[in-house]
Structure formats: structure tokens, C-alpha cells
Amino acid sequence: MPRLGLRENWPQFALLVLVNAFVGGMVGLERTILPRLAEQEFHLVGRSAILSFIVVFGLTKAAANFYAGAWANRAGRKNLLVLGWLAGLPVPLLLLWAPTWGWVVAANVLLGLNQGLAWSSTVVMKIDLVGPRQRGLAMGMNESAGYLAVAATAFATGWLATEYGLRPYPFYLGAGLAVAGLLSSLLVRDTHAHVALDAALAPQEAASPPLSFWDVSWRHPDLGSVTQAGLVNNLNDGMVWGLLPLLLASQGFSLTQIGTVAAVYPAVWGLGQLVTGPLADRLCKKSLLFWGMLVQGLVLLVMLLTHSYPLFLLLAGLLGAGTALVYPTFLAAVAEHSPALQRARSIGIFRLWRDAGYAVGALLTGLLADWLGLAAALGAIGGLTLVSAGVVQYRMRCAAAAGPLRPLRASFSNPLQPAS
């Protein structure tokens, strides 16, 4: 007989945390060394060309997120998780053997499939297991494991590249992560029975009108506020992923120093979610989203004036703290405003837009960097992040004022009405 709750499902939950750490490690494989690999081994000069790998990664991951949400109830969460790891297995080998940049782009198509299917599956399964009272805690632990693994792998690959070169040793680590991720995923049990139990315990949700694609994307004031903030958050993360190593290299920092900065950001992001995830269960989600986006925007603007390595480390930590405030809150808020049987699809739609931010960010910042320089790209994205914080403050409401599933018809009568 299935039961809801973290304590009741801790073995399965812990296994999913481990699986998501392997998922995060796969994307951390690229965060330090791929922009340098583009310049040194493939002799790419244009920022737009260098960031092409993030564009295809973001588009593929966004599409995989959407279909993972749409197919979760029909295909099964575990099946999508295993399929994601089958897509991820060739990624380190393609990067290891790539004779041309086209191989790197192809590897990132597969990496996007891996991240979208596998990460989405672990997110939805953890929410299924814990029930409505511990969603923020569940997301904090899930995202913490993923982004601590991003940090650890980013640091490890930077160190390996400094000591032994950009290839092949960093990608041996990735091959080990892919095999471990697939094997551990085979031990996971599906959570369809927990979904049915959650829906049975909240029968009033069955009468809720279905959430359309555009409801989640923008029309519902709360869900739309969360979705736009998610897109902008990953837009600036895509810029940090692709341009920050180049910015630091232009100031003469070594690969080890660049790897350390690249690791501090997701390390604070990951650790911070162990605190901010439970906070999302207790505090107003609107406040956490507003302050998190505000901190991110301010940090990116301050980076324009920074030339000191210790200050870059501090700013990377603050950027991670701002991201930690919003990341588990995003998913907890989407789950809060979606009926149980619509939750997977709503999360898929949100993650479609959120991870499309990688592609938008890479294209936008690449063009701005080629046209106006790195500083202009950094300033534009910092300003856009501040605008996103303003949208959250203007449109979104706290659950205490709005209710967890406030009627859509009333919400749509004036979707731009400011929050009270």
C-alpha cells in the first residue's frame, strides 16, 4: 500500500537523489572546459559559434522536458528516466573523440535529451512520493544533489584539464557518471500508485478546470510569473556557463582558477537549496522568487566592475545564493498551483520554458558579445534579470492571499492586475 511522505519513502527518495547527482554531473562535465576547447582545439573565434553547443542543449532539453511531462502518466516515470540515461551514454565518448565542432554540437543534443528526460523524471517522482506538505523540501534536496554534482564535476574537470590537458582525462569521468546513472536508474520503482493516492486525497482538484499550455506559460498570474522567472534564470545561467569562463580567461586567470569560480557558483546554489527548499514550504513563494531574481541581477551588474579573483569568487557565491532562493521554489510553486493529475504536465511546460532560457541566453549573449563585447552582454542580462524580479513582484500573490488553486476564471479576468 503506497504512503505519501519523505519518511515513509526514504529509500526510494534517497535513490532518486543519487540518480539526480549523476544527472547533474553530466552537465558539470562541460561547464569549465568546453568554451576553452572551442577556442584552443577547434579554433572558433565568434562568441555565437562557441555558444552554439548551449543553444542546441537548451532547445533539446526544453523539448525533452515538455514531452517528459506530457508522457509521464502514459509511458511511466521510470521508463522516461531510463530512456534519458540511454541517450546520455554516448555523450562523453563523442566529446572525447570529436574531430570537429559538429560532434560537440551532436553530443549536446544527446545531453539535452539526457537532462530533460532524466532530471524531469526525478523531479516528478520525488514530488509524487512526498505529498503536498514537503514539496519544497523534496525539491531542495533534488536540486541540491544535482547542482552540487555540477560543481564537483566542474572543479574536477578544470583540475584535470590543467594537469593533463583538455582531452581525454576529463571525459573519462563523464563516462563513469553515465554508466553509474543508468545502472542506478534500473533500481528505481515507478510512482504511479502514489499519484493516484495523492489525487484521491484531494478530490476537489478533480473539479478544477484543466490547465492549458498558455495558462502555465503566462495567462495564470502565479504560474505565468513563475514561468517567466524560470526562463530568465536559465537565460542568465546560460550566459554564465558560456561567457564567464571567457571573461575570466580574458583577464588572465588560469584554468584552475576558472574552474574554481565555475564550481563555487553551483556549489552554493546546490548547498543553499537544502535551506531554501524547506523555506519554500513555509514562506511566501513570491518573496523568495523576487529576492532571488533581484540578487542575481545585481550580482551580474557588479561583475561588470570586477577584476579581482577573490571578488569573483564572492560574486559567484552570491549568484549561487540568489539562484538557490528561486530554484526549488519554482517547482514547489508550479506543483502548488496544479492539480495532482495535471502536475507532471504543468511541470513539463514550466521546464520547457525554463530550459529554453539556455538557448535564448546563448543566442542573445553570443550576438551581443560579438557585436558590443562581453561587458555589454553581461549588463543586458543583468538588467533583464532585474525586470523579471519586477514581474514577480507585480503579478504574483502569496498562497495565503491567493489560495493554492485559486479559480482560473477569476485569475484570467485581469491577468495583469497587480498583486495585493
237-250 pLDDT, tens digit per residue, is: 988 888 888 889 88
User: How much is the pLDDT for 134?
Assistant: 85
d(CA 175, CA 97): 12
User: How is residue 135 written as a grid cell?
Assistant: 514539496
394-417 pLDDT, tens digit per residue, is: 999 986 544 444 434 333 333 334
Contact 124, 347 (CB under 8 A): yes
192 closest CA partner among 273, 125, 107, 260? 125
pTM for the model stands at 0.80
Amino acid at 417: Q
- Beta-carbon contacts of residue 379 (< 8 Å; ≥ 6 apart): 300, 301, 304
User: How much is the pLDDT for 414?
Assistant: 39
CATH superfamily name and code, 10-412: MFS general substrate transporter like domains (1.20.1250.20)
User: How much is the pLDDT for 263?
Assistant: 84
135-164 and 309-336 are packed helices; what angle lies between their axes, rounded to 10 degrees?
150
What are the extents of the domains in the chain? 10-412
DSSP 108: H
User: How much is the pLDDT for 411?
Assistant: 38
User: How much is the pLDDT for 399?
Assistant: 66
Burial class (CB in 10 A: 0-12, 13-18, 19+), 403: exposed
User: How much is the pLDDT for 147?
Assistant: 85
Contact 282, 336 (CB under 8 A): no
The residues of the chain scoring below 50 in pLDDT are 401-420
Contact 107, 222 (CB under 8 A): no
